[in-house]
Amino acid sequence: MKTDLVKYKQKQKRVPRYYSELDKLYQHLISTLDVLIPPLPMCPIPNTDKEGHLLGRQWWYTLTLPNEIRNETQQGRVEDRLQRWLDRITDHESIQSSEGLREFIESENGFRPNITKNRVLRHIPYTKDVNPVYVHWTDEFNQWTDYLVQLLSKVQKLSYEHSAMAEAWLDMSSALVSYGGLERNPSLFIIYKTIAKQHQQLYSIEKTQAISIYHTIGSEIRYQIRNSEAAENAVQKGCVAWSDYLASEKYVDSCHIAAERLKSSVHINRDKVNEAILILEDARRNKLKLEQHYERMDKQLHEDIEHKHKKNVSKDLLMSIHDYAKSQLFLEQKKLALYEEVLSSVF
């Protein structure tokens, strides 16, 4: 990680952290800052081969047929989603000033923040007093979430169909083995046995296609559903800030009316008048504080949603579609190579 901020002792540092520490950082940030913070990605589950060796995140690119040489350089672009999340967090101007982030980066003995209990998010109904931009954003995020949920169901169906096809290949392999056992011609028996093995390999490829769908576009859609919900919650925080400001404005008006009534009373009680004036001044200070808080949040929301959130969502989805298409093309080519082997074994 790199930074130019004065508060950090080192301008460049490698920060090894457990996933639990990343989760603590995320919980700390959402409980202390009023900015749009993208949700922490799920902890990646390690993949291992049959011998128990750890595989890369795009391990399907190492899949080879029996007559092929394993190509380790064929794994393709691999980007850690957790690292991408952390890079975006540390690039946020408001989050950069967080003491929690500084402790997370500079702590030598692990990150142990004092996590405050998450504030219960109040839901503010969208009335005519609410900023219309907030209403537009909320409708936009709701529609986007509905679309992602529908898309996820189609992706899951596609993955299930690949799994079902894999079982069909395996059943075909078993049938060929059974039929080949009845064949008296040695040459035909070898052909049936060879084709049966090739169908077992087709089973493995088809299964891998189902898994790669989940790990590329499927997992990204799941994350973006959570991301959309986080953005909607950020908008709701803006509505709460606006509602609090309006309530303070009404309270100032009522305090002003009460003070004026006391001052215009026939029998003026100076102690009560002075007390009313103090309450009015305190209400005005609170109103100013809440107004400034709302204005800061409103400005930050526009920056976060229009210039960060939407841009990052498009970038991430395009990247996942690229990975999905590339993985499927690679595996389809493996299937094509097997079909060619079937032809060569028959003729």
Dihedral sign of CA atoms 322, 323, 329, 330 in order = positive
State yes or no: pLDDT of 115 exceeds 70: no
Distance between CA atoms of 293 and 214, rounded to whole angstroms? 42
Q: Please, are residues 258 and 223 in contact by the beta-carbon 8 Å criterion?
A: no
Length of the chain: 347
pLDDT band for position 85 (cuts 50, 70, 90): very high
Reduced to 3 states (helix: H, G, I; strand: E, B; else coil), residue 2 is strand
Residue-wise DSSP of 40-71: PPPPPPPEE-TT--EE-TTGGGG---TTS---
Enclosing H/E stretch for 177: helix 132-182
| Strand pairing category for 54-55 and 47-48 | antiparallel
Tell me the per-residue pLDDT of 158-216, one tens digit each, with 9 for 90 and over.
Answer: 999 999 999 999 998 888 888 777 777 777 778 888 888 888 999 999 999 999 999 99
Rounded Cα distance between 140 and 316, Å, is: 18
Each residue's pLDDT tens digit, 8-17? 555 556 667 8
What are the backbone angles phi and psi of residue 12, rounded to the nearest 5°?
-145, 130
How far is 323 from 61, CA to CA, in rounded Å? 11
Query: How many CB atoms lie under 10 A from the CB of residue 71?
Result: 10
Residue type at position 200: Q
Q: Which residues pair with 48 in a beta bridge?
A: 54
Nearest to residue 290, comparing CAs of 282, 98, 319, 84?
282
Q: What is the pLDDT of residue 78?
A: 44
Segment 4-9 mean pLDDT: 51
DSSP state of 267: S
Structure confidence by residue, pLDDT tens digits, 285-303? 999 999 999 999 999 999 9
Beta bridge partners of 1: none
C-alpha torsion sign, points 82, 83, 87, 90: positive
Q: What is the pTM of this model?
A: 0.85
| 152 touches 221 (CB < 8 A) | yes
Amino acid at 177: V
